[in-house]
Structure formats: structure tokens, C-alpha cells
Structure 1
Amino acid sequence: MIPITPVGSSAGVALRYLDPGALNLTALPPLSLYVHFPWCVRKCPYCDFNSHEVRGSFPEQEYLQALRLDLEQSLPLIWGRKVYSVFIGGGTPSLLSADGLDQLMSDIRTLLPLDLNAEVTMEANPGTFEAEKFKRFRASGINRLSIGIQSFNTDHLKALGRIHDGDEARRAIEIAQANFDNFNLDLMYALPQQTLGECRRDLETAMSFAPPHLSLYHLTMEPNTVFAKYPPQLPDEDASADMQDLIASETAAAGYQHYEVSAYARPGHQARHNLNYWQFGDYLGIGAGAHSKLSFPHRIVRQTRAKQPASFMQAAQAGRAVHEEAEIARDELPFEFMLNALRLQEGFDPNLFGERTGLAITAIEKTLDAAEAKGLLYRDHKLIRPTVLGQRFLNDLQQMFL
């Protein structure tokens, strides 16, 4: 560290120290809020999220109180910063009662300076849809739903361990259409024994409802899941690639922009909350197992909460909701940034790298050159983006920045 004597200092005045490894963020990025609801009706065999099956009931009031305490304890870290999006995920947050959701939204508005045009998303399971309850969700301030359809094929839904069938999926979308202008449908493909024709029918059924946003995920075998332990028979790589090609052509023909690896949107309906993640923005995560990434002028910090709901609630009551906290090391920032930003199909402005990491673009110059030489990356003075080849081998491209 280099000692710096303050202007006008005299003997006895403590010296400041300039850390040559410190960052220099000229402005803090946009801030989002993530709220985790950890319970679901049944744990799906492919799911590696922090979710726990409801055993009869769940402690709604105790959990809502813990969420408020967690948020209150976090306020000094984000003081004065406006929140531009809220995402309530899980688990299955649509298990919350209408009164419970209203209480949560009231606490958020009371404690945070929420932007007037903030996007407020809630995840919902078709097996939990009740028309009257979702009307009240909308009245409480939810203005975007993300519905976990996964498939309209009842056999595939059974294989995935979902609690709804195809008819319930359609009914859920009709309720969403009646109450929300903005909603997303989650679909999965390359499902156990799924054919290209079945994938097409799922996609056509979803698009028949004209959703503003589609999320289309390739089923993957995540560690520590039932599917990882007992793998089902999945379509081979060629069949999976055919499904990806089908999705690309059909969504484009229907007017959807493929703007991120798994995200497709009609004009003006990109998911603002998720875009903030991919552009390496900041987010405060509250609730069991939630993660935060928070920037300060000279450092960027990550936090996690305890995964078990009971442990989280006890910790929040004791005034220590944050379970772990660590500063992101300077040499880890390039990979952290590129891991997210390279998911954007249209790429990003090179200036964004400096704005969000506090580092000069020269920190990754050699790797950019190497990726460009391999045909994985296109760049000029206004744009860095993965090529078609880079999109196909995205994991390899991202790992070059490790």
C-alpha cells in the first residue's frame, strides 16, 4: 500500500492508504431485489434450487417476519439506492396467501425506494392457480408472472414430477391473461423420450397464447438431484440440436427476439430483472439460501443466506441473516462479468466491462484476442458478442476468461 498524506495534514494526523488492488467504480450499477420463497408442494427430480416440500403447512407469518428483518438488516448496504426490479422466486411463491403476499409487498414498498415503473415478477406453479387469489396478487403490486409450465404433455409432466397436467397448464395461462399484461411461460425441451414432434406441439401450444416472453430451457442433469442419481432416457445430441433449431426458427417467425441463451421476448418485453443479472448489475437477495451481489466504489461483495428455512429464520431473528460474505477478488472479476454478459445474444458495449468491474478492458485483451482468433467472438470498438460458433460452444468461450 502507498501512504498518501492528506492536504493540510500536520504531525499526528493518521495517513490514508491507497490500495493498488482496489477497484474504482465511477458509478454503481442498477439494483434489483430478489426474494426467495423456499417451499413447494413436491420437489421435482430435476430441480437443484433451494426448495423444500411442504409438510402439511409452512410458517407463513414467521417467514414473512424473517424476510422483513433480513431486509432491514441489509438497508445500510444499499442506503439511498433505488430498486428497479423485484423477483419473487422459489420454490413456489404462489403458495403464499393473498394476505401474505400483500404484507410482503407492503414491507418492500415501506423499506425500499422502489422505482415507479419497477418490474415486479412472481414465479407461479400451474398447480397452485386460483383466479381470485391471482387477482389479489395483481392488486398487491405484482405486474409480471413467470409460470412454470415446462410442458403441456401430461406424460412428460409426470416424468418431470410436476403436480399439474396439460389442462391445468392451459387454465393457468388463461387466468394469467385475464389479470396480467406481462407474463412469461417457462418450457423445457429434450425431455425424457421426447420427440421432435412433441417439442413442436409444446412450443406451438405455448405461442398460441401469445405470451410476451418465453423461457425455453434444455433439460440438464444437475448434481445432487434425483435425475442425476437415476438418469432417465433423454434424446441424443442430434435430436436435441434439432429441437434447438426448431425453437430458433419458430420463435423468430412468431416475432420473438432471441436475446439471451434461453430467453425469447416480443419487442419491449425483455425481462428487466434477468437483464440486470446478465449485465452484471447489483442485486440484494433476501430469504433462505438467497444470494446477493453488491457493489461499492472500491469493492464488490457477494453474500449468501442459510439454506434451511428454520436456520434462516433463526438467524434473521438474531440479527445475522447473512450466513457468508466475501469480496470478489480482482482477478476473478473478468470471469464473473463474462460468465453473465456472454449469454446475451446481441453482446455488450465494451465500456460496460469497465463500468461494472472497475477494471480496464486491457485486463482481458489477450483472452479477447484468443477467442476472436478461434472464431468464438466478434468485437469492435462498440460491441463484443459471441459468434454463432461462440453461442454453440458458450461454456468453452466463458471458461477462456477463468
Structure 2
Amino acid sequence: MLTPPPLSLYVHIPWCVRKCPYCDFNSHENKTGGALPFQAYVDALLADLDFDLPLVWGRTVHSVFFGGGTPSLMPPEFIERFLQGASARLRFAPGCEITLETNPGTAEHGRFELYRAAGVNRLSFGIQSFDDGCLQRLGRIHDSAEAEAAVKLAQDAGLDNLNLDLMYALPQQSLAMAERDLERAFALQPAHVSHYQLTLEPNTLFAARPPSGIPDEDNSWDMQEHCQALLSAAGYGQYEVSAYARPGRQCTHNLNYWRYGDYLGIGAGAHGKLTLGAEQAVLRRWKHKHPATFLAHAGSDAALGGDERIPSERRPFEFMLNALRLVEGFSVAEFEARTGLALAAIEAPLQAAYTAGWLDRTGERIRPTELGRRFTNDVVALFLDD
């Protein structure tokens, strides 16, 4: 039987200063450099939330995540207005984690105090690298000095729950350069580090025109293993494929995704996933991607990009696609509650994974092995419904 899991709220801010050549997210350059319609966009976000509210009556929100785009382009007063409106419509859990993705190139002195006053209690900085050459090749709008200054400004403002995003296997990056990136990150003492490999996603500039000097598979794997050891030695425990945290500082919002939890997706191009207990159904819903279309139709059916009820035979794949990214894996009870299926429904692929040495079961908990974490895509593919 499907049991509604914890609920999160994802809020998409679609604008950025400049589209990065590796980015495949729904982000739109502010090409004119003029004022963005934040007042109207907050109105649209609240209308969008009102439209989705009947799907989550009575449920508590455990985390809020402002993603993008570049959410830190939105001034604090608009973040505050949205949060006030959202908390008037939904019950926020005590100590609700509220994250704002932040581009160091948009940080301004004094603004972090205002974001904190607005209710933001966690920042995720898109650093990517502390090497100025790498940053230029990635098309970032900040340099390493601006990155360090932005993090210190946030800390001075009393925000200590900080994530730093770093990438490795960058164009013309060596193992020593990847190590120096982590050393500079450690010096800033963040609570959390996201460390992930550059990938050439379809429909990006890098996919159409790959940059030179990208490390090959063997060198990329060497970087990953070496950096994992450095992160562990510095006190950052790996709890997901690319996520490392100090004790007690794992990201509540992302953990909910990976545990196949529920989330409302609000804003242009936002995706949501909801468990409908009365219908015993899992619903995926997404909104129109273009900001102008979303602004024109928010709060109505016309703002929907689509709705889909996930058939029961596809739920094991969706569940594993998330849960097998976690070092902790999942419990039998979690699988059955989140998918509405008995574990027996996936006995054959589970046995294949045990035999290959990709998964291990201890009591009621099933975890990916070290080998399984290296071949996550292969493990997950076992659970595809043919």
C-alpha cells in the first residue's frame, strides 16, 4: 500500500546572467541586462502553489529549495514575500531547511543578512572550481577570489549551513588541480560539499562542441577515488554518489528526493512528484518551461507542461534510480511504502544484483556495494520494466 512520504517544496527561478556551456537546466539568460519581473514572478509562483494545493492538503513541508537558473538574482524581499505566502498556505515543519542556490558572481555585500532574515538557512554555492583557468573554460561569471569572498560574506552574515558545488574532470584539469580545489574548499570549512564529474549533456554547447583536454575515463576515475579519500580524511562523510557532509549536515531536501519522497514543483519548468494516498497513485507533474508562458498562465491548467500517473510496473525503476545513489541504500519497508509493491515484485533483478556483487542485504536493509556504486547505471538498469 502506498504511504505518503515526507513532502518538500521546490521553487524554480529561471533566469541567469549567462548560460554556462555545460548547463542543461531550464535557465534563461537575462540578455537585455534590464530589470527582471520578480514582482510578477512571485505573484505567479503563489498562483501556481494555489493551483497545486489540493494535492497536498494537510501535509507538512520539511524542506524548501530555490533552484535555477540563478536564484540569488532574486532580491531578498521577493524571497521573503514568497516564503511568507507559502507558509500561510502550507504547514512548515519546525526548523524547516530552506536552501537558496547562489552564484558567487551575484553576491553583494549585505544581501546575505537579508536572505537570512527572509528565512533562508542554507546556501548552496555554485563554485565548480577555484582555478581561474578552469572557471573561464567553464564559462563561469566569477573568479576564485569572488568565490572565496562570497562564502566568507555568507559566514559573516551568520549562515553556517553552506554547500560548495565542485566539479572534477574539467577541461585541462590534472589530478593535482582537482586536489587543490578541495584544499581551498576545506579552508572555507563548509558543512557540505557536492563533488561531481563534468558530463557533456545533450542539447548543451559542450555537447555540440566538446572542449579539448577533458580527462579520459581512467584519469577521471583516478580523480574521483583520490578526491573521495581527501574528503573522508577531512571529515566529510559520503552519503550519496556526489554528496559529502559533516556529521548531521546532510541535505534534507536532496535526501528526500533520493529516498523517493514527495515534492511540489513550483515555477517555470519545475517538476513535482506526489503520492496520492486516496487514489493509490504516484503523480508526476511539470510546468511550462518558458518564463513568459508560465507568467501568462500560472494558476491554471494552461501553465501545466504535463501530468502523468506512474504505472506500478515503472515504480521500482524510479525508486532505484534514486535510492541506489545513497550509501545507506534502502529498507524493505521503505520500498514497499514508497512504491506500493511487495519486495517480491523485484526478486529477480535483486538476485541478479546480489550475484554480480552490486548489492548487499543485511537484515531488512539493502545497500549498494563499493562495486555497485561504481556501476550505478548498470544496477539501476536491472529494474527497468521490459
Scaled to the shorter chain, the TM-score interval is over 0.9
8 Å Cα contact 1:39/1:53 also seen in 2? yes
The correspondence for 1:387, drawn from 365, 369, 384, is 369
User: What amino acid is the match of 2:29?
Assistant: E
User: What amino acid is the match of 2:346?
Assistant: I
Match of 1:365 in 2: 347
Match of 2:174 in 1: 195
The correspondence for 1:226, drawn from 179, 184, 205, is 205
Task: Provide the secondary structure at the position in 1 that maps to 2:330.
Answer: coil
Q: Which whole-Å CA distance do the structure 2 matches of 1:198 and 1:28 have between them?
A: 45
User: What amino acid is the match of 2:287?
Assistant: R
Percent sequence identity over aligned pairs:
55
Residue 321 of structure 1: CA displacement? 3.0
Task: Provide the secondary structure at the position in 2 that maps to 1:157.
Answer: helix
Residue 349 of structure 1: CA displacement? 1.2
Task: Provide the secondary structure at the position in 2 that maps to 1:227.
Answer: helix
Match of 1:20 in 2: none
Tell me if 1:254 matches 2:234.
yes
Q: Which structure has the larger Rg?
A: 1
Task: Provide the secondary structure at the position in 2 that maps to 1:368.
Answer: helix
Residues 54-95 of structure 1: per-residue CA shift (max 9 Å, x gap): 132321111111001000111111000000000000000100
Tell me if 1:185 matches 2:164.
yes
Tell me if 1:374 matches 2:356.
yes
Task: Provide the secondary structure at the position in 1 that maps to 2:171.
Answer: coil
Worse-matched range after superposition: 233-242 or 250-259? 233-242
Tell me if 1:103 matches 2:81.
yes
User: What amino acid is the match of 1:143?
Assistant: N
Gaps of 5+ in 2: none
8 Å Cα contact 1:73/1:321 also seen in 2? no
User: What amino acid is the match of 1:207?
Assistant: F
Tell me if 1:337 matches 2:316.
no
User: What amino acid is the match of 1:360?
Assistant: A
Q: Which whole-Å CA distance do the structure 2 matches of 1:162 and 1:382 have between them?
A: 45
Map 1:347-362; keep pairs closer than 5 Å: 347-362=329-344
Match of 2:11 in 1: 35
Residue 312 of structure 1: CA displacement? 0.9
Match of 2:24 in 1: 48
Residues 26-61 of structure 1: per-residue CA shift (max 9 Å, x gap): x31000000000000000000000000013232111
Residues 345-390 of structure 1: per-residue CA shift (max 9 Å, x gap): 1212121100111100001011100111111111133211111111
Match of 2:257 in 1: 277
8 Å Cα contact 1:69/1:319 also seen in 2? no
Residues 149-200 of structure 1: per-residue CA shift (max 9 Å, x gap): 0001111001000000010011011012112020100000000010111111
The correspondence for 2:42, drawn from 64, 67, 72, is 64
Q: Which whole-Å CA distance do the structure 1 matches of 2:297 and 2:334 have between them?
A: 36
8 Å Cα contact 1:123/1:145 also seen in 2? yes
Taking structure 1 as the reference length, what is the TM-score of the superposition?
0.92
User: What amino acid is the match of 1:188?
Assistant: M
Residue 320 of structure 1: CA displacement? 4.0
Task: Provide the secondary structure at the position in 1 that maps to 2:294.
Answer: helix
Match of 1:290 in 2: 270
The correspondence for 2:137, drawn from 134, 159, 179, is 159
- Number of equivalenced pairs: 378
8 Å Cα contact 1:350/1:361 also seen in 2? yes
Q: Which whole-Å CA distance do the structure 1 matches of 2:92 and 2:328 have between them?
A: 29
8 Å Cα contact 2:289/2:305 also seen in 1? no
Task: Provide the secondary structure at the position in 2 that maps to 1:131.
Answer: coil
8 Å Cα contact 1:216/1:262 also seen in 2? yes
The correspondence for 2:309, drawn from 312, 327, 344, is 327
Match of 1:16 in 2: none
User: What amino acid is the match of 1:370?
Assistant: A
Residue 318 of structure 1: CA displacement? 4.5
Tell me if 1:211 matches 2:182.
no
Taking structure 2 as the reference length, what is the TM-score of the superposition?
0.96
8 Å Cα contact 1:350/1:381 also seen in 2? no
Residue 236 of structure 1: CA displacement? 1.2
8 Å Cα contact 2:160/2:190 also seen in 1? no
User: What amino acid is the match of 2:362?
Assistant: D
Match of 1:264 in 2: 244
8 Å Cα contact 2:293/2:303 also seen in 1? no
- Over the aligned positions, Cα root-mean-square deviation in angstroms equals 1.0
Gaps of 5+ in 1: 1-23
